[in-house]
Structure 1
Amino acid sequence: VIPARYRSIRFPGKVLESIDGLPMVAHVYKRATASQLDKVIIATDHAAVQKAMEELNIHVMMTAKSHHSGTERVAEVAESVSGDIFINIQGDEPYIEPGIINLLMEQFQAEPITPMATVASTNLSDKDWNNPDIVKVLVGEDGKAIDFFRVPISQTPKDNCFKHLGIYGFKRDFLIEFAGMARSANEKALDLEQMRALDNGIPIEVAITDLDSVGINRPEDLEKLKEREIIA
């Protein structure tokens, strides 16, 4: 499921920004359908997104405007769509590698009892380390997340820290349970939905990859990609 909230705080309407003639979120959809997923759905809260996707014959569902996170939006879809595992794919990562999605799915095959999993990249530069838009994850020897953070504090060890790729996988029952939990203190403070799980003692498996993905958080992120001629 690709959550596509229209009124992003940092970049309103970004999911419909045109990239090579297609809305950004449509690029995410194309990448997701190239993975091993059985079904891909865009979940939005805005009629403009619904209309744009329907014109492209892309499966789209309207969801509530009241959700605090993409995962809550995915959970609403899970309540009416059958499936054992639900993957939350960010709608602002137009170049996500299908291999990242497949790697996340493999986590549930390797660890069948895992309630929640995510992916992190070894591509963590010094610039990323101090960029609050780039979320970092500290991973334990058991392969589970210890902490997520935006800005490191002085004693934060860089060893075993990775660039978090904003993709999550959930067992269906836990996903619905997660959406019903109250927002946690760290979730609110950091604006990181995954902290709700950690704050409630729920383990998050982390798959490590050398693949990377670029998120479009602000208008200047899109301009930088254009300057690099990554997109037309």
Structure 2
Amino acid sequence: MNILGVIPARYGSTRLPGKPLADICGKPLIQHVYEKASSSSLGALIVATDDERIIKAVQAFNGNAVLTSEKHPNGTSRAAEVAEKMNVDYVINIQGDEPLLDPRMIDEVIHALTENEDVVSATLCAPILDKASLSNPNVVKVVKDRRDFALYFSRSPIPYMRVETALPVYEHIGIYGYRKDFLMKYVELEATPLSTAESLEQLKILEHGYSMKVVETAVTHRGPSVDTPEDLDAVRRIIGCSKE
């Protein structure tokens, strides 16, 4: 059973150009992500990028990186380009802006994929515990059925609580796992109305009639992702090298 982890990493970023190379306590951000992911049960790990500067940075810490097309619409498509050329059974798409990634979450996705032949794609969720996140469109919500398959993902608060209930509201955590054969099929599917409207690529899976397993992570403490200079400062404070 061959399991490939891919970390898509673009140099261009509207809010934080050159984000993968941003320094965090003496290491580029991408190195923090790579080292965390390497502690999981992945069989192989590769950074997929469109920029030679990122290739050189990864090679400098003896990591694996490949140069991919500049034309990919998203990280999943970039990961598929790498996976297509490799003899693997499963592909895990790992976000490149998570320097505090807990490798146990990667293993949770791997377990969800490999324990049941009917699962072609999988991801994670966690209960939302603060009201601000419910209305934050950058916090993607997910509802799932009794078998823990996704019913819908949205940037809006879902489900709407018309009556008071103990039903949890879940935040989607963006680590994705795929059977390789399904990933190759998925990236060729046409864009769909809901995935376009919400700007959530995973909705394309549901709209085309396929399923995605959603596992509630057992990891209770997760660090922030990095999208802005303020996020970088927050991560530096957590790691303990902030100059503040």
TMscore range, shorter length:
over 0.9
Q: Give the stretch that moved more between structures: 86-95 or 10-19.
A: 10-19
Contact 1:187 1:193 in 2 (8 A): yes
CA–CA separation in structure 2 for the residues paired with 1:156 and 1:70: 33
Provide the residue aligned with 2:40 in structure 1. 35
**Deviation sequence 1:90-132 (CA, Å, 0-9, x none):** 0001111111001110002222221100011125422222222
TM-score, with length taken from structure 1: 0.92
Q: Of residues 181, 185, 193 in structure 1, which corresponds to 2:189?
A: 181
Q: 2:232 aligns to what SS in structure 1?
A: helix
Alpha-carbon spacing, 1:191–1:50, altered in 2? closer, same or farther (3 Å):
same
Aligned residue pairs, count = 231
Q: Of residues 107, 123, 136 in structure 2, which corresponds to 1:102?
A: 107
Superposed CA RMSD: 1.9
Q: Is 2:138 the partner of 1:133?
A: yes
CA–CA separation in structure 2 for the residues paired with 1:196 and 1:146: 12
Alpha-carbon spacing, 1:217–1:6, altered in 2? closer, same or farther (3 Å):
same
Provide the residue aligned with 2:228 in structure 1. 218
Q: Is 2:87 the partner of 1:82?
A: yes
Alpha-carbon spacing, 1:187–1:11, altered in 2? closer, same or farther (3 Å):
farther
The structural deviation recorded for 1:42 is: 0.4
Provide the residue aligned with 2:3 in structure 1. none
CA–CA separation in structure 2 for the residues paired with 1:153 and 1:161: 7
Q: What are the ranges of 5 or more consecutive residues in structure 2 without an aligned counterpart?
A: 1-5
**Deviation sequence 1:44-101 (CA, Å, 0-9, x none):** 0111111111122110011111111110011001111111010000000111111100
**Deviation sequence 1:168-217 (CA, Å, 0-9, x none):** 00000110111111222222222211111111111100110242353212
Contact 1:145 1:203 in 2 (8 A): yes
Alpha-carbon spacing, 1:189–1:106, altered in 2? closer, same or farther (3 Å):
same
Q: 2:184 aligns to what SS in structure 1?
A: helix
Q: How does 1:53-202 map to 2 (within 5 A)?
A: 53-152=58-157, 155=160, 159-202=167-210
Contact 2:143 2:158 in 1 (8 A): no
Identity across matched positions, percent: 36
Q: Give the stretch that moved more between structures: 100-109 or 9-18.
A: 9-18
CA–CA separation in structure 2 for the residues paired with 1:137 and 1:153: 7
Alpha-carbon spacing, 1:156–1:60, altered in 2? closer, same or farther (3 Å):
farther
Contact 1:138 1:160 in 2 (8 A): no
Q: Which has the larger radius of gyration?
A: 2
**Deviation sequence 1:10-56 (CA, Å, 0-9, x none):** 32221111111111111111011100001010000111111111122
TM-score, with length taken from structure 2: 0.88
Query: Match for 1:80: what amino acid?
Result: K
Query: Match for 1:134: what amino acid?
Result: V
Q: 2:44 aligns to what SS in structure 1?
A: coil
CA–CA separation in structure 2 for the residues paired with 1:85 and 1:148: 23
